[in-house]
Structure 1
Amino acid sequence: MKKLKLLVPILAFAFYSCDQYLDINKSPNQLEFDKALPKNLLPGAQVSTYRVQVGTMNQLGNVFMNSWTRNVQSFGNGYDRELQLNLDNAFYSNIWNGLFLNLKNYQAIIDFSNPEGKYDYSVAAAKICKAFYMQYIVDLYGNAPYTNAWQGNDNLTPTYDDDYAIYQDLFQNLEEARDLIAAADPAVVEDISGFDVMLQGDMDRWLEFANTVQLRLCLRMSEVTGAKATFRDQQLAEISGGPFLTDNVSINPGFSGATNANITPMASTYFYDSGSNNIQNRTFIAMTGHAWKSMQSYASTNYPAAGSQEIVPGSGVNYVNLTDPRSTRLFTGGIQGNAVGPRRAVNQGSSLVDVGGPTTTLPGPPSRLGAQGNINPYDQAQIFAGVNDGTPDDFFTVDGFIMTFSESCFLRAEAAVRYPSLFSDAQNLFNQGVTDNFLMRNALIGTYLTTVNASRPNFGFTASTTTAQKLHAILYQKWIALMGFNGIESYIDYTRTGYPLTPLSSIAIQTRKPYRLIYPTSEYIANTANVPNMTAADAFAVNALTPFWVAGAPN
C-alpha cells in the first residue's frame, strides 16, 4: 500500500531507529527483511506500532473526545477539520497507513519457518500484537484487507474481508497464542526476554495481555445481537476466569535523549526535542472547556449562567461538580510573562480563551499539557522523589504505555455490569482503576474517590443505581485515565456506547461524531478495484459501511 504523508501539520512523526534493532520500516510492499529473524523483527514492530498509537491515533481521540483543542491565543488555525468534523480520504490517513505498514512485520514473524517450535514465543507475541492493532483498523474503518494482506509484491491489491470475519480471526489468533505459550518446549523455544521490549519475555504476562485484549474485543461487541452475540458470549466464557492484566503493558527499548527519534515518543511528539526545547505541540495543544468543567467544581468555574452546567443540552446530566486533583497534573497554566500563569481553557470552537476560575482574567494563555501528568508516569522521572529537578531531559527515558492496568480494571468492571453471570467485583475494579490512575498521574487522591462514589451518580460507581449510570461512571473514569496518551480508545468507547457524554465543538458541521473514518487516498490510488466506495456522509450514518459492532449496523 502506498504510504502518504499525514496531512496534519502540527503532529511530528518519527519512526523508531535504534542501532541494536533492524530498521525494517521501509515499504509494506518490499521484502527487504526476508532473512530477518523474529528477534530482529519483533522489537521494531512493537515500537513502530506504538508510535502510531501514541501519535496520530492519540491526537485524534483526544480532540474528538473534547479533551484537547488549539491554543487560540497564539494560533489562528489548527484542528479545524477535527472540530468541524470535516472528513475526507486524507483525514488522518496515517492511522491506516501506519498500522498496515507495521502489521506486516508481525505477520512476517507469524509466517516465519518454525518447524521445531523454536520461535513459538515470538509467534505468540506477534499474534497478540496483531490482534491488538488490527482491532483498531476494524474499529475505525470496518471492512479491510486481511486474508490477502501483507503479501508484498505477490499481491499489491488485496481484497477486503468482512469486518466481523476479521474479528473472528483475531479471536483465533489469541487462542493460538495462548496454546503456543502453554505447549512451548522449554528445551527448544527461544527466550525472547532480550528483545521483547514490551513484556521482557514474561509469558505469564503475555497470557494476561491476550485475555485482556480478548475482553476488549468482546466488549466492542456489547451491542450485537443474534449469532454474533452468541459468539461473543462463547468468547467471554472462555476467558471469564482470567488471568487479566495485573500491571501495565509498557514499552521501552532503551529510550534516551541521544536524538529526537530516541526520546520516549510521548515526550518527543508533544513536549520536547533532544535539545530540551519545547516543540510546537507543547504550545499548540490547549485544555478544552469540557475537560476543565469535567474536573473542576462549579465554584471554581466561570459558568456563564446558573443552570448551564449540563454536559450536553437535553441529556439531563450535569458536570460532576468536584475538583479532580488530576486536572492540574494533566494541564498546567500557560506561559505568561515568562512564567507559568493561571490555568485557563478553551471551549472547542471558541475563538477566545473563555473558561477559567471566576476571578481569572480572560482571555489569556490557556492551560497546556502538563509534564507530571502525561510524561512522568508513577514518577519514573524521579521528580517527586527529589532525585531530578524536572528539566526536559529527565523525561526522555520514561516508558510508553500500550495498555494500562487501569484500563484493564475498567474493562473488567464494565464486563461485570453487563455480564454478571461471568464477571463480578465491579465496585472494587472501578476503585482500583481510579486509584491506579491517580498514582500514574502523580496526583494525591485525597477524598476524591470517596466523594464521587458516595454522591455523584454517573461519575462514581456506588452512587450510580441504574445500568446506564454505572456504565457512564466507568467510561467517564476510563476517559480521564486514558486522556493524553490513548485518546482513541475513549473515542471508540463513545462510538460504541455514547458514553461518556461529550459535547460537540460549536463549529461542528455534523450533528454527531463519526462512526468511522474514510478509507485513505492511498487505497483509492493503489487498490482501486477493491476499496469500498464511500462518501463523507457514510461516516456519520449507520449503514453497510459502519463497523459491525455499532448498534443497528446491518452487516
Structure 2
Amino acid sequence: MKHTVKIVALFVALLTVSSCKEGYLDINKNPNDATSSTPDLILSAALNATAAGMINPNEIGHFWAGQWSPSGSVSGFNPEKTYDLPSNFRTGVWTQAYDNLSDYDVIEQAATTSKQPAFVGIAKVMKAFVFQRLVDTYGNVPYTEALKGTAILRPKYDDAQAIYDDLSKQLDAAVTNLKTPLTAENPSPGASDIVFAGDMGKWVRFANTLKLRLMLRQTNIAAKEATIKAEITKAAGNGGFLAAGENALASPGYLKTAGKQNPFYENYGFTAAGTLSGNHDFYTNADFFITFLSNNVDPRLPRFATLNNAGKYVGVPFGDGNDAYLYAKTSGFGPAILKGFDQKQVLMQSAESFFLQAEAAQRGYLTGSAKTLFESGVTESFKFLEVPDAVKAAAAYAADAVPIRNFDASPNKLEAIITQKWVALGAFEGFEAWTEYRRTGFPKVPISTRAVGTKQPARFLYPNQELGTNEANVKAQGTISQFDTKIFWMK
C-alpha cells in the first residue's frame, strides 16, 4: 500500500528536481546579478549546471516518450499523467535554463574582451544547446533581449523560427572561434573543460552535430528544404560530426559526498551512504519501453532494466499506479543506468550523432550510406550501455532480418532510424526522445491511461512566475494550449 511518508518524500523530491537551488559548483544566486570572474573559473560550473539541469526536462521527456513511468509505490505525478498542466508545471526547466545561460553569456563577454576565442566558442555552443531546448519546450521565448540583467527586466519574446535561424549562425561563429589555434594568448580551456578536456576538435564536431540536430528538427517545413541541405553540407565539410566513442559527457569530479555525487545517480539511485535515495522507488521503466525491448530480443534490455521480484521484466503502463505496479514488482533502472556516484552526466551520445547523420543521408542531405550510419548508431548505443561483446552483439542484432532492427528489412527507413535513436536515448536523453516523437510521430507512443483527452502534449505552458514579472510580453503570445499551440517545427 502507498504511505503518506512517500507522498511527503515525493513532494520534497520534486522540489529538488524542479527548483533552481545552489548546489555542487553553483555560481549564480540571482540570474539578474552578473557573475564576475575569468572564463576558466566559470566554465566548469556552467557546464556542470547544464548537465545537472537536464535531469528535469529529461525526466518528463522519458515519461511522455514512453520510456519511464512512476511506479505504484508513489502517489502524485498527476499533471504528467493527465496532461492537465498547471501554470507552475516544472518551472525549473525555464529558470535553470536562463540562470545557466547567464553564466555562458558572462564567459562569452569576458573571453571576447580578453581575446580568448576557445572560450568564446564553447560559450556560444552551450548557449545554442540550452536555447534550442527552451524553444523546443515553449516555442517563442526571450532571446535578443534576454540575459541583459537589470538593463532589461521584461525582455520581449522572439519568434521561435527566428531564434533557430540565429542559433545556426551562432554555431557557425562558434566553429570559427574553436578552430583558432591555441596559443599563450588563446589558452586551452584544459581542466576547466569538464566535457572534452580542452579538445577543440571535439568541440567543433559537437557544434556541428548540434547544428545537424537543429536543421533536421525543421524537416516538416517545406520552405526550409534548401537551407537544411546547404547548412548540413557546410557543417559536414567544416569539421564533421561527433565520431565513434565521442560522447559529450560532463565529469566535474563527482565525490561520494552528499550533494557532490552525480546528480542523476543521487536523485534516482543511492545516497552517499549507500542507502536508497528518497526517489529510488518512485521511478521505473514504462511498459511500452520494456515490451519493445523484449519483443525485439534486444541485448540492451538487461542493461536498461532489472528483473522484478518475480524474475521477470515488467514495466508500468504510463498513467497507471496501483499496487500491481509497486516498485519491487517492476523493472527498475539497470546497471548501465545507475553505475555509481562518479558516473558521467550525458549531454549527447555519439549514437545520436550517427542516427542524425543516418537521417540526413536518407533524406539526401548528406552523402554516404544511411544504412552504414544507422548500424554505427546501433553499435555506439551497445558500446555506451556496455553490452557484453558490444560490437559483435550489435552486428548480430542489426543483421537479423527484422524491421526496425535491420535497415534493409525496414519498409520505412526513417521510422527505423528514429526508433533506434529512441532506444539509444532511453534513460539518458528523454527530452530529445520526446521532441523527436513530436516531430516524427515515431515510435507510436501510447497515450497516458489517465489522459484528460485524446491528445498528447505538444509543449509546456509559460511559467506562472514569468506571467507575474513579464505579463505584457507573455500575453502578447496569445492563448497557449499545451495540446494545440504547437512548436513551429511540428506537423
Q: Which residue of 2 aligns with 1:450?
A: 396
Q: Which residue of 1 aligns with 2:359?
A: 414
Q: Which residue of 2 aligns with 1:26?
A: 29
Percent of aligned pairs with the same residue? 31
Q: Which residue of 2 aligns with 1:511?
A: 454
Q: What is the identity, as a one-letter code, of the residue corresponding to 2:333?
A: L
Report whether the alignment pairs 1:439 with 2:383: yes
Superposition TM-score, scaled by structure 1 size: 0.80
Aligned match for 1:348, one of 318, 334, 341: 318
Kindly state the Cα deviation for residue 464 of structure 1 after the two structures are TM-superposed.
Answer: 1.2
SS at match of 1:153: helix
Q: Which residue of 2 aligns with 1:366?
A: 330
Q: Distance in 2 between matches of 1:326 and 1:185?
A: 41
Q: Which residue of 1 aligns with 2:344?
A: 399
Cα distance, 1:280–1:116 mapped onto 2, change above 3 Å: closer
Report whether the alignment pairs 1:549 with 2:470: no
Kindly state the Cα deviation for residue 279 of structure 1 after the two structures are TM-superposed.
Answer: 1.0
Q: Distance in 2 between matches of 1:399 and 1:363?
A: 26
Aligned match for 1:206, one of 192, 203, 220: 203
SS at match of 1:401: strand
Q: Distance in 1 between matches of 2:313 and 2:440?
A: 32
Q: Distance in 1 between matches of 2:305 and 2:461?
A: 32
Aligned match for 1:462, one of 393, 408, 411: 408
CA-based RMSD: 2.4
Q: Distance in 2 between matches of 1:461 and 1:345?
A: 27
Q: Distance in 1 between matches of 2:143 and 2:117?
A: 22
Kindly state the Cα deviation for residue 67 of structure 1 after the two structures are TM-superposed.
Answer: 1.5
Q: What is the identity, as a one-letter code, of the residue corresponding to 2:410?
A: S
Kindly state the Cα deviation for residue 353 of structure 1 after the two structures are TM-superposed.
Answer: 6.6
The answer to which of 281-290 and 96-105 deviates more is 281-290
- Whether contact under 8 Å (1:157, 1:526) holds in the other structure is yes
Q: Which residue of 2 aligns with 1:386?
A: none
Cα distance, 1:353–1:103 mapped onto 2, change above 3 Å: same
> Any stretches of 5+ residues in structure 1 without a counterpart?
1-6, 298-321, 356-361, 377-394
Kindly state the Cα deviation for residue 415 of structure 1 after the two structures are TM-superposed.
Answer: 0.7
Q: Distance in 2 between matches of 1:87 and 1:286?
A: 22
Larger radius of gyration: 1
Q: Which residue of 2 aligns with 1:253?
A: 252
Report whether the alignment pairs 1:531 with 2:478: no
Q: Distance in 1 between matches of 2:190 and 2:290?
A: 42
Q: What is the identity, as a one-letter code, of the residue corresponding to 1:190?
A: P
- Whether contact under 8 Å (2:404, 2:420) holds in the other structure is no
Q: What is the identity, as a one-letter code, of the residue corresponding to 1:425?
A: S
Q: What is the identity, as a one-letter code, of the residue corresponding to 2:315?
A: A
Report whether the alignment pairs 1:37 with 2:38: yes
SS at match of 2:154: coil
SS at match of 1:540: coil
Report whether the alignment pairs 1:326 with 2:266: no
Q: Cα deviation per residue 1:46-93 (whole Å; 9 max; x = unaligned)?
A: 11111111x101110111112111221x23x23222121112321111
- Whether contact under 8 Å (2:284, 2:327) holds in the other structure is no
- Whether contact under 8 Å (1:412, 1:423) holds in the other structure is no
Cα distance, 1:194–1:481 mapped onto 2, change above 3 Å: same
Q: Which residue of 1 aligns with 2:119?
A: 122
Q: Which residue of 1 aligns with 2:140?
A: 143
Q: Cα deviation per residue 1:70-129 (whole Å; 9 max; x = unaligned)?
A: 221x23x23222121112321111111111111111011112263562x21111100001
SS at match of 1:175: helix
Kindly state the Cα deviation for residue 222 of structure 1 after the two structures are TM-superposed.
Answer: 0.9
Kindly state the Cα deviation for residue 351 of structure 1 after the two structures are TM-superposed.
Answer: 4.3
Q: Equivalent residues in 2 for 1:215-364 (5 A)?
A: 215-226=212-223, 228-241=224-237, 242-246=239-243, 247-258=246-257, 260-297=258-295, 322-334=296-308, 336=309, 341-352=311-322
- Whether contact under 8 Å (2:382, 2:394) holds in the other structure is no
Kindly state the Cα deviation for residue 16 of structure 1 after the two structures are TM-superposed.
Answer: 6.8
Cα distance, 1:462–1:30 mapped onto 2, change above 3 Å: same
Q: Cα deviation per residue 1:156-210 (whole Å; 9 max; x = unaligned)?
A: 1111111111111111111111111233462421221121111111101111111
> Any stretches of 5+ residues in structure 2 without a counterpart?
1-9
Q: What is the identity, as a one-letter code, of the residue corresponding to 2:71?
A: N
Q: Which residue of 1 aligns with 2:59?
A: 59
Higher helix share: 2
SS at match of 1:286: strand
